Amino acid sequence: MSAPTQPADPAAAMLRVRQLTARFTTRSETVEAVRAISFDIASGEAVGFVGESGCGKSVTARALMRLAPEGSSVQWGGSVQFQGRDLLRLPEAAMQDLRGRRIAMVFQDPMTSLNPVLSVGRQIDDMIRRHAGVSAREARRRTVDLLGLVGIRDPQRRADDHPHQFSGGMRQRVLIAMAVSCEPDLLIADEPTTALDVTVQAQILRLLKRLRAELGMALMLITHDFGVIAGMVDRVHVMYGGEIVEHGAVDDLFAAPAHPYTRALLDAVPRLTQRGGAA
Ligand SMILES: Nc1ncnc2c1ncn2[C@@H]1O[C@H](COP(=O)(O)OP(=O)(O)OP(=O)(O)O)[C@@H](O)[C@H]1O
Ligand SMILES: [Mg+2]
């Protein structure tokens, strides 16, 4: 248990997570995947969560959407205050209204987050119509605009294509378009570039940065790779074994990591130790 991590102006916090726990119960055991973590995110702020596989990054992100991983049951504890309401205690109908509209997430596995049998345009149309209550024609107009905004060429025509007709990087752009379609206040991007090659990775990160500036969203960027964090976020949280073991401004952390585990993570990023900056 430790003090919450806070933005420069704690009063500006839009999200206040306190003593968050996530407990999975399987047939054989109970696992505490997230152990009483506390952090704040201010409006428009970009924060990073870094840590090795299994340390609890995705489960933490999912807590903000109150979504258990597929096929599991999870017991949440603590509180997730977002714009003055505790999301862990909100009725499900209110939570459904909030998901996608106020808090949106680009999930870790792009293929399973898109429906393979529907065109990508249709999937974005549906998202817009669910939350904005506009006509089919207006939804499609916005969808085409969004696909253009995320850098899909010939968006009018591409809207009718299915997910398998897009490359990995283009699919990730589609997911980002869908996530920002309702102009959320907080965008969670869970390993948005892990499956992509370095050039495409850099393009997707630039896109996220530009969208955040244009739409004024807060960004929670999750990765196991410190190289992705540099230049993207103001503050970073290092997670280990379900806890936040270190937190600070990115530059401070890079210059003088306090926790041995943070040092080990930084050592795993050769291009950073060469002081060339992130690719
Ligand atoms: N569906 C599940 N059923 C049971 N336990 C789970 C489930 N999903 C996650 N966990 C537990 O929660 C822990 C944290 O998982 P999480 O997915 O948050 O890790 P992560 O940091 O996102 O890792 P990765 O970098 O591999 O995505 C896991 O180590 C596991 O113990
Ligand atoms: Mg994960």
pLDDT at 278: 44
What does the pLDDT look like over 86-108, one tens digit per residue?
999 999 999 999 999 999 999 88
Distance CA 68, CA 76 (A): 9
Say if residue 272's pLDDT is above 60.
no
Residue 52 CA: nearest ligand 1 atom is: 25
What does the pLDDT look like over 142-193, one tens digit per residue?
999 999 999 999 999 999 999 999 998 999 999 999 999 999 999 999 999 8
Residues linked to residue 190 through DSSP beta bridges, in sequence order? 222
Residue 2: pLDDT band with limits 50, 70, 90? low
pLDDT at 276: 45
Asked if the structure places residue 6 within a domain, the reply is no
Residue 239 CA: nearest ligand 1 atom is: 21
Residue 241 alpha carbon to ligand 2 centre in Å: 13
Asked whether 164 and 148 are in contact (CB, 8 A), the reply is no
Asked if the structure places residue 141 within a domain, the reply is yes
pLDDT at 261: 87
Residue 108 CA: nearest ligand 1 atom is: 27
Residues linked to residue 13 through DSSP beta bridges, in sequence order? 42
Distance CA 254, CA 267 (A): 10
Q: How many Cβ atoms sit within 10 Å of the Cβ of residue 122? A: 18
pLDDT at 270: 62
pLDDT at 271: 55
Asked if the structure places residue 130 within a domain, the reply is yes
What does the pLDDT look like over 3-13, one tens digit per residue?
778 887 777 78
pLDDT at 99: 94
Distance CA 193, CA 203 (A): 9
Asked if the structure places residue 81 within a domain, the reply is no
Asked if the structure places residue 154 within a domain, the reply is yes
Mean pLDDT of 250-278: 75
72 lines ligand 1 (CB under 6 A): yes
112 vs 247, higher pLDDT: 247
What does the pLDDT look like over 206-219, one tens digit per residue?
999 999 999 999 99
When the pLDDT of each residue in the chain is averaged and rounded to a whole number, the result is 91
- Look at ligand 1, atom 3, and give the residue with the nearest C-alpha: 72
Asked if the structure places residue 140 within a domain, the reply is yes
Asked if the structure places residue 168 within a domain, the reply is yes
Which two tokens mark 138?
A: 């207006």
Query: What does pTM read for this prediction?
Result: 0.92
135 lines ligand 1 (CB under 6 A): no
Domain with 129, as residue range(s), is 111-183
Q: Tell me the percentage of the chain whose pLDDT exceeds 70.
A: 95
Residue 62 CA: nearest ligand 1 atom is: 18
Residue 53 alpha carbon to ligand 1 centre in Å: 8
165 vs 266, higher pLDDT: 165
Phi/psi at 186 (5° precision)? -135, 125
Say if residue 274's pLDDT is above 60.
no
Asked if the structure places residue 179 within a domain, the reply is yes
Residue 144 alpha carbon to ligand 2 centre in Å: 30
Count of structural domains within the chain: 1
pLDDT at 131: 86
Lowest mean pLDDT across 73-77, 106-110, 233-237: 106-110
